[in-house]
Every structure is written in structure tokens, then in C-alpha cells.
Amino acid sequence: GENVEQHPSTLSVQEGDSAVIKCTYSDSASNYFPWYKQELGKGPQLIIDIRSNVGEKKDQRIAVTLNKTAKHFSLHITETQPEDSAVYFCAASRTSGTYKYIFGTGTRLKVLA
Amino acid sequence: GAGVSQSPSNKVTEKGKDVELRCDPISGHTALYWYRQSLGQGLEFLIYFQGNSAPDKSGLPSDRFSAERTGGSVSTLTIQRTQQEDSAVYLCASSLVASGGTHVGEQYFGPGTRLTVT
């Protein structure tokens, strides 16, 4: 079945350092890959997304890269700040049929001041 | 404008009782999704509604789970004869879908309903 693997499950970095979270998906028909940030007691919020016709996308301190051949995509956060501390989820989806997201299991990021 | 809202925010129920969870999607969003998030786990797809099409129920874990969407807007997720393993946060999301079914927008999530079955 469809599956998304996400690593690492926890990540601690010093403030100002970079953080990288990696995901691998199994459904070769997936062509939309969003990343969500979830703070305690809240629903997930989209922080960045990428479609399969693009290899990289950047938004200020956040970037996502996609290797469609290898079915890998990664989230990169530079110059981390304490407010980046949260749980991050990757997901994969098709843009036809059911648009359900297949989520990774999440990464708890802690930015140490 | 208002985001996705869910009620109640917390629900404690006894094993064997039925519960109803409500989701109000963003106005104008034709697609609505239910997910379940168990403690320390990722989000598990349950069911998807799009316009007047038959819902995709492929993620419902058992026949104790059902959902409906009335008038293309509000949705209710019902769990009958609740079990302790049903304890989780139930998240609802909505998105825009263009005519012809082309996905155009991200899924916006509500704050979730935390269900505890004792």
C-alpha cells in the first residue's frame, strides 16, 4: 500500500543551526508534497509544498527539495529559532482521484536556545 | 475569514457509547477530509468527501465508524460502540477543488477533537 517514511523521529539543534528532515514515498503516482508544522494542541499548518514538476522550492528560511526518481523529498530549515520547535509532518498526494494525504510519522524538532 | 472549526474540542466517553464529532469547513471548500492522530503517531486518513461524489471511505478502520456531509458543508463523524483504541485526536481538513476535479489548494486543518474513551 501507499506509505511515507519520515526520519528522524526527533531532532535537536542549537539555535542558528540548520535542520533537515527527510521523507521517502512509495506511490509513484504522487505528485504533490506538502510539509506541515504542528504545535501543541493545534491542528497542522502548511509551511511549504512542492509539486513534482519542480526540484526545489524556497521560502525565506525554509526550503524543500524533491528527487522524483528516488522518491525522496526533504525539508531544510536554516538559521533555526526557538519558535521553530514543533512537530513536522511530510505528506504525499496525487492530484487526481482522491486527494487524501499519506502522512509521514512526524519529526519532533527542538531548537535549543 | 474563519478557518476550519471542530466541536467539541475535547470529548470523554465511556466504552460502548456512541459519539459524534462535528466539522465546519471553510466556506466554499468543496473537499472535506477526516484524519485520526493517535498519541505520538502520524495522521491516518479516514474518509474524504468531494462535492456530490460518493465519499472515499477506504480509511475507515471498522464499520463502527461512519461520516456524513450534509448540504455539502458541515460533516459529522460518528463512532458507534466506542472502544479504548478509538482514543485519539480526530482532525478535519478542507480544501478547494476546481470543477473537473483538478486539485488546486492545500488542505486546511481544524484544531481537532481529542477523544478519550474510558
A38-84 tens-digit pLDDT: 999 899 999 999 988 889 999 999 999 999 999 999 999 999 999 99
Q: Do A44 and B56 touch (CB under 8 A)?
A: no
The secondary structure of residue B97, as a DSSP letter, is: B
- With cell 492530484, the residue in question is A95
Residues of A near B (CB-CB distance < 8 A)?
6, 32, 34, 36, 41-46, 49, 89, 91, 93, 95-96, 98-106
How high is the pLDDT of residue A94?
85
Residue B25 phi/psi, 5-degree rounding, is -75, 175
Cβ within 8 Å, pair B109-A32 = no
For residue A100, pLDDT beyond 80: yes
pLDDT average, residue stretch A92-108? 86
Q: What is the percentage of chain B residues whose pLDDT exceeds 90?
A: 70
Residues in chain B with CB shorter than 8 Å from the CB of A102 are 45
Among B38, B79, B82, B40, residue whose Cα is nearest residue B60? B79
Q: How confident is the model at residue B74 (pLDDT cuts 50, 70, 90)?
A: very high
Strands B19-24 and B75-79: antiparallel
* Chain B residue with minimum CA distance to A89: B42
Residue of chain A nearest B96, judged by CA positions: A99
Locate B47 and state its grid cell.
474518509
Distance from CA of B76 to the nearest CA of A (A): 18
Amino acid in position B66: S
Q: How far is B41 from chain A (nearest CA, A)?
A: 6
Q: Residue A105: closest CA among chain B residues belongs to which residue?
A: B42
Between the alpha carbon of residue B43 and those of residues A9, A64, A67, A79, the distances in Å are 14, 21, 23, 28
Mean per-residue pLDDT, B46-70: 92
CB contact under 8 A, B95 and A99: yes
**Percent residues over pLDDT 70 in chain B:** 92
For residues A26 and A65, what is the distance between their CA atoms, to the nearest angstrom? 17
Mean pLDDT of all residues in chain B? 90
pLDDT tens column, A9-18: 999 999 999 9
In 3D space, the residue among B97, B116, B114, B95 whose CA is nearest the CA of residue B106 turns out to be B95
* C-beta separation of B89 from B112 below 8 A: yes
Distance of alpha carbon B2 from alpha carbon B6, whole angstroms = 12
Structural contact between residues B113 and B6, judged by C-beta atoms closer than 8 angstroms: yes
User: Does B101 have pLDDT greater than 90?
Assistant: no
Partner-chain residue, chosen from B45, B102, B109, that has the shortest CB–CB distance to A44: B109
Residue B1: which pLDDT band, with cuts at 50, 70 and 90? low
Query: In angstroms, what CA-CA distances link B18 with A3, A41, A96, B84, B112?
Result: 31, 24, 34, 12, 18
